[in-house]
Amino acid sequence: MSSAKERRARRKLWGGISYHSVGIIIVIVFFAPFAIALLSSFRHGTEASLPPLPPWPTTGFSLDAYRSLDGFGAGVVQHTLNSLFVSVATVILTVMVSLLAGYGFSRYQFPFKNVFFILIIATLMIPFQSILTPLFIMLAKLGLNNSLIGLTLVYVTLQLPFSVFMMRNAFDAVPKEIEEAARIDGARDLKLLFRVLLPLVLPGVATVAIFAFLNAWNEFLAALILLSSSDKFTLPVLMIAVRTGRLGAVNWGAVQAGIAVMTIPCVIVFLLLQRYYMRGLMAGAVK
């Protein structure tokens, strides 16, 4: 009797060991590229073009890679600020516009409501890659070519189908009774939206915000096309200049530093708001 129990316990132990051995291998495969790049970025400038074997700094910790990255374009601080401006502005505008639209679609009746909703969602079917040429010409006509604001407006539009859909569902999930009570107390329209309903749909807002941030921070093709002067470049566009190199020689240290600068904000935002990110993903997967 006890030996059977022992055998079962031993099998469970071995099962656990083999399960987590596979787990460790998976973790190494998926995490190693980040770790190698980050560690290598702290190597001495003379090691920049050597292979990362080993990846950690062997001749002392150094910020040479970041210094040489700073030598490209208008400096790494300027380009990081460009990227931050575009991402934060995209988040703020997306949240405001989709909050209002979600409220309107959820709580009001007006002519052609369903047509408008389908029109917004239907833009998901059309790849933005196919409308970049007219966007380029139209933004020039509006005086928004080579402008971070123009790029932001494009990003906000691209976020809208998902965000409006998320916010409408968030408002739909709030019981009507809460609203009726507040209405009787005299709160209506915008006051009702911001005082009473906003706290109740905050999880939806967090989901919309994290997707807007990551997509704007990471987007490459539209930024490559719509930004033309190098002081306006966002980080991914700047990195093209770094990756192309000077006089045929690529400064790989600067590349490693650039990867670290672009990766770290994404990872921090994701780890802090993981719950809301996954919620958005699930909503997309179920619908």
Binding residues for another protein restricted to 166-185, rule: CB under 8 A: 180, 183-184
In the window 58-87, what residues touch another protein (CB under 8 A)?
A: none
Distance CA 127, CA 222 (A): 12
**Choice between 3 and 217, CB closer to another protein:** 217
The residue from 66, 72, 217, 233 that contacts another protein (CB under 8 A) is 217
For the chain, the distance separating the N- and C-terminal CA atoms, rounded to the nearest angstrom, is: 51
- The CB density around residue 262, as the number of other CB atoms within 10 Å, is 18
The alpha carbon of 251 is separated from its chain's Cα centroid by a whole number of angstroms, namely 27
The residue from 82, 98, 147, 207 that contacts another protein (CB under 8 A) is 98
The distance of closest approach from Cβ of residue 191 to another protein in the complex, given in angstroms and rounded to an integer, is 14
Give the 3-state DSSP-derived string for 27-48, with helices as H, strands as E and coil as C: HHHHHHHHHHHHHHCCCCHHHC
Q: Does 186 bind another protein (CB under 8 A)?
A: no
The distance of closest approach from Cβ of residue 17 to another protein in the complex, given in angstroms and rounded to an integer, is 12
The residue from 4, 129, 175, 247 that contacts another protein (CB under 8 A) is 129
DSSP letters, 139-157, are HHHTT-TT-HHHHHHHHHH
The residue from 4, 109, 114, 248 that contacts another protein (CB under 8 A) is 109
The distance of closest approach from Cβ of residue 240 to another protein in the complex, given in angstroms and rounded to an integer, is 7
Stretch that binds another protein, among 6-14, 62-70, 199-207, 219-227 (CB under 8 A): 219-227
The distance of closest approach from Cβ of residue 79 to another protein in the complex, given in angstroms and rounded to an integer, is 13
Burial status of residue 182 (CB atoms within 10 A of its CB: 0-12, 13-18, 19 or more) = middle
Q: x/- string (CB under 8 A) for another protein, residues 249-268? A: -x-x--xx-xx--xx--xx-
In the window 145-164, what residues touch another protein (CB under 8 A)?
A: 153-154, 156-157, 160, 164
Distance CA 247, CA 209 (A): 41
Q: Is the dihedral of CA 243, 247, 248, 251 positive or negative?
A: negative
The distance of closest approach from Cβ of residue 23 to another protein in the complex, given in angstroms and rounded to an integer, is 5
- Contact indicator for 167, 144 with CB cutoff of 8 Å: no
**Choice between 74 and 140, CB closer to another protein:** 140
In the window 1-40, what residues touch another protein (CB under 8 A)?
A: 19-20, 22-23, 26-27, 29-31, 33-34, 36-37
Quick one: which of 271, 260, 231 has its CA closest to 39? 260
Q: Does 286 bind another protein (CB under 8 A)?
A: yes
**Choice between 1 and 284, CB closer to another protein:** 284
Stretch that binds another protein, among 6-14, 57-65, 114-122, 194-202 (CB under 8 A): 114-122
